[in-house]
Amino acid sequence: MKNCELHLFCSMEFMEKFIKFGIVGLLGMCVDFFITWLCKEKFRFNKYLANSLGFSIAVVNNFFWNLKWTFHATGSNTTSYFERFVLFSLIGLGLNNLFIFLFNDKLGVNFYIAKFLAIVCVFIWNFAANDFFNFQ
């Protein structure tokens, strides 16, 4: 690629944010999986309700880490950042449940493997939406 240093995806700042977003995402995935497992296996909640609870608690956790560490957002816009982060996450939740439905219910993939695959797919959406439209 010519002039890679000028290309958005080759910039060190972009790569640093992408990696940090991924690290926060891994932490969020641990929170998500634990809450989902607890609700589904121990409390016997419906798998989609358990998935939604795990996802939602992870979203709040991820917001605070991404706000301060990944995107270094400052100022009085925290409420606006949170509202957009939640909106993008709700879209991500819909995508997450759709992927779980496709992988688990339609293709017969184990629920937790389907959940992992869904998280990987939704990660791209979440990063792009927040980097380009929320924490610019």
Within a 13 Å sphere around the CA of 32, how many CA atoms are in the beta-carbon half?
A: 24
How many Å apart are CA 7 and CA 47, to the nearest integer?
A: 42
How many Å apart are CA 52 and CA 72, to the nearest integer?
A: 28
pLDDT at 118: 93
High-pLDDT (> 90) share of the chain, %: 71
Residue 106 structure tokens: 């339609």
pLDDT digits (tens, 9 = 90+) for 74-122: 877 899 999 999 999 999 989 999 999 999 999 999 999 998 999 889 9
Q: Domain-by-domain residue ranges, the chain?
A: 13-70+77-133
Residue 27 structure tokens: 């932490």
How many Å apart are CA 66 and CA 126, to the nearest integer?
A: 11
